[in-house]
């Protein structure tokens, strides 16, 4: 007789099934499976589930209420602990004080000398160093002047003597007339050699002489021509003495031409000098070390060459101008100025006063009085304030209430404003420990 098996569901598990409203379906296994060593359950087709509906009563969240009360109590305790800790351990008070300030204005002169080796504030002297630079420039410039120019044409003619073997003297300014009717005159006194006979025939003597047109103008720039001498007119010499030119007369002109004026030369020089001054300043500033200061006013220039290619009145369209310049700059250390100013301020304020270094403003201009020496005109401004003993103030404020602190500090004539900040924020009293009190001076 085969054995029967029953599925037993524990009460708790059964109760959980009731909550979801489902009961597990009992599975029956065949005898072959029970007897076999392989305990892998066989697969069966799913069967419909049995649904059991049961109304479970709702439970009140007692645990949640208890937990919420504990959180509140714990939070309050934590805040109390933090407050006590902050009150005694992390307590700190910061008192910011604005002292009464005023602006000190000073004017002073200071000498920068290249011969000085060390600053001497008692003599108002600081050392300087000379830096040099040389530059040159040249440029073509146009002439702006206009002038009426009259030039006479001139040239060379060969004068023949076919009259006799005797020489013939001609005075300066002897007239020669070309076949075109243009009158020319000899430049100087001339002697025409006499002719010579060759094979019974007279060979004319001759001489080349310089002649100039009687009037200015381009009309006298004639080509090769034959010339007669009007002074021999009416005599046998008129046809025996004559001249010929093998080249054209040239140089005759009448009209306006460009001319170099004094302003042209002055303008050219100023242009180049201005250009070289700027280049020299830039060059000098690249030569000085970073800890030196070079003022534009402390740079001097010397023109060592000024050479125009044309003079005033020259009738040319353009001209070249060349300038060479030597520049010197006397530089000084900025730190020497700063130290002199601080020393000057200290000597001009009372012992119970101090000055704020960040507020110092120094403006200066320079004057060159002699080579290697410049005078600086200083204008100085600085913010000064009363010297307060912070340790004494701390001792006076320790343990006092904030109201007492404000009353005490506001009664001080050297103080214009105060501000008290405390940690934690609910403190209304200065800590007794001086280490927990910080005083800040504000000069802004």
Residues 134-173: tens digit of each pLDDT: 999 999 999 999 989 899 999 999 999 999 999 999 999 9
pLDDT score, position 55 = 53
Q: At what angle do helices 390-397 and 402-410 cross, to 10 degrees?
A: 140
Residue 426 tokens read as 């609910």
CB under 8 Å to 399, separation ≥6 — which residues? 429, 430, 431, 432
pLDDT score, position 311 = 94
pLDDT score, position 1 = 45
pLDDT score, position 248 = 96
Instruction: Give the pLDDT band of residue 48 (cuts 50, 70, 90).
Output: very low
Instruction: Give the pLDDT band of residue 14 (cuts 50, 70, 90).
Output: very low
Give mean pLDDT, residues 310-323: 94
Domain boundaries, the chain: 1-90, 129-144+259-331, 147-256
Cα distances from 257 to residues 34, 139, 218, 251, 268, in angstroms, run 140, 22, 14, 14, 20
Average per-residue pLDDT for the chain = 83
* pLDDT tens track for 283-312: 998 989 988 999 888 888 999 999 999 999
Whether the CB-CB separation of 135 and 272 falls below 8 Å is answered with no
Comparing CA positions, the residue from 178, 174, 161 lying closest to residue 225 is: 178
Give mean pLDDT, residues 214-226: 96
Q: Can you tell me the distance from the alpha carbon of 12 to that of 18, in angstroms, rounded to the nearest whole number?
A: 10
Instruction: Give the pLDDT band of residue 211 (cuts 50, 70, 90).
Output: very high
User: What is the DSSP secondary structure assignment for residue 179, as one 8-state letter?
Assistant: T
pLDDT score, position 125 = 94
Whether the CB-CB separation of 158 and 208 falls below 8 Å is answered with yes
pLDDT score, position 397 = 81
Q: Strand 241-244 and strand 253-259: pairing?
A: unpaired
Whether the CB-CB separation of 175 and 229 falls below 8 Å is answered with yes
Position 240 pLDDT exceeds 60: yes
DSSP string, 190-201: EEEPPPEEETTE
pLDDT score, position 400 = 80
Instruction: Give the pLDDT band of residue 31 (cuts 50, 70, 90).
Output: low
* Model confidence pTM above 0.75: no
Q: Among 20-24, 98-102, 426-430, which is the least confidently predicted range?
A: 20-24
Strand partners, 69: none
pLDDT score, position 62 = 55
Q: Can you tell me the distance from the alpha carbon of 394 to that of 438, in angstroms, rounded to the nearest whole number?
A: 8
**Structure-model confidence comparison of residues 47 and 269, the more confident one:** 269
Give mean pLDDT, residues 97-114: 91
The SS3 of residue 340 is helix
* pLDDT tens track for 71-87: 676 666 566 555 555 55
CA angle 42, 45, 50 (to 5 degrees): 115
Instruction: Give the pLDDT band of residue 416 (cuts 50, 70, 90).
Output: confident
**Structure-model confidence comparison of residues 131 and 54, the more confident one:** 131
Instruction: Give the pLDDT band of residue 387 (cuts 50, 70, 90).
Output: confident
pLDDT score, position 404 = 81
Q: Can you tell me the distance from the alpha carbon of 406 to that of 136, in angstroms, rounded to the nearest whole number?
A: 72
pLDDT score, position 5 = 43
pLDDT score, position 61 = 56
Instruction: Provide the percentage of residues in the chain whose pLDDT is more than 90.
Output: 54
pLDDT score, position 85 = 52
Q: Among 185-194, 319-328, 355-364, which is the least confidently predicted range?
A: 355-364
CA angle 256, 261, 264 (to 5 degrees): 120
**Structure-model confidence comparison of residues 33 and 313, the more confident one:** 313
Whether the CB-CB separation of 204 and 195 falls below 8 Å is answered with yes
């Amino acid at each position: 007789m085969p054995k029967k098996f029953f599925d037993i569901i524990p009460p708790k598990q059964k109760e959980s099934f009731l909550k979801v409203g489902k009961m597990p379906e009992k599975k029956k296994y065949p005898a072959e499976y029970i007897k076999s060593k392989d305990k892998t359950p066989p697969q069966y087709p799913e069967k419909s589930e049995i649904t059991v509906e049961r109304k479970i009563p709702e439970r009140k969240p007692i645990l949640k209420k208890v937990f919420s009360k504990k959180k509140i109590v714990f939070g309050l305790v934590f805040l109390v602990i933090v407050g006590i800790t902050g009150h005694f351990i992390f307590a700190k008070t910061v008192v910011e004080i604005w002292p009464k300030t005023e602006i000190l204005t000073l004017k002073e002169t200071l000498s920068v000398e290249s011969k000085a080796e060390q600053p001497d504030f008692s003599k108002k002297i600081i050392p300087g160093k000379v830096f040099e630079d040389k530059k040159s420039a040249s440029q073509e410039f146009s002439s702006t002047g206009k002038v009426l120019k009259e030039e006479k044409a001139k040239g060379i003619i060969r004068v023949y003597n076919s009259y006799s073997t005797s020489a013939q003297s001609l005075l300066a300014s002897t007239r020669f007339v070309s076949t075109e009717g243009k009158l020319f005159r000899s430049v100087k006194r001339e002697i025409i050699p006499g002719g010579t006979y060759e094979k019974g025939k007279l060979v004319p003597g001759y001489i080349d002489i310089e002649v100039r047109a009687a009037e200015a103008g381009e009309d006298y720039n004639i080509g090769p021509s034959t010339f007669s001498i009007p002074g021999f007119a009416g005599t046998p010499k008129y046809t025996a003495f004559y001249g010929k030119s093998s080249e054209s007369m040239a140089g005759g002109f009448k009209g306006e031409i460009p001319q170099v004026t004094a302003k042209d030369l002055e303008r050219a020089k100023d242009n180049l000098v201005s250009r070289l001054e700027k280049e020299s300043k830039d060059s000098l500033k690249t030569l000085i070390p970073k800890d030196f200061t070079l003022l534009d006013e402390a740079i001097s220039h010397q023109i060592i060459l000024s050479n125009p290619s044309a003079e005033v009145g020259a009738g040319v369209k353009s001209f070249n101008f060349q300038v060479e310049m030597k520049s010197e700059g006397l530089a000084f250390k900025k730190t020497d100025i700063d130290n002199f100013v601080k020393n000057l301020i200290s000597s001009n304020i009372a012992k119970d006063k101090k000055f704020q270094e960040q507020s110092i403003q120094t403006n200066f201009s320079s004057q060159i009085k002699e080579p290697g020496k410049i005078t600086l005109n200083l204008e100085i401004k600085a913010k000064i304030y009363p010297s307060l003993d912070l340790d004494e103030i701390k001792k006076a404020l320790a343990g006092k209430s904030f109201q007492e602190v404000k009353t005490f500090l506001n009664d001080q004539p050297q103080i214009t404003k105060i501000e008290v900040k405390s940690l934690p924020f609910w403190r209304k009293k200065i800590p007794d420990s001086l280490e927990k009190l910080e005083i800040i001076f504000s000069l802004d």
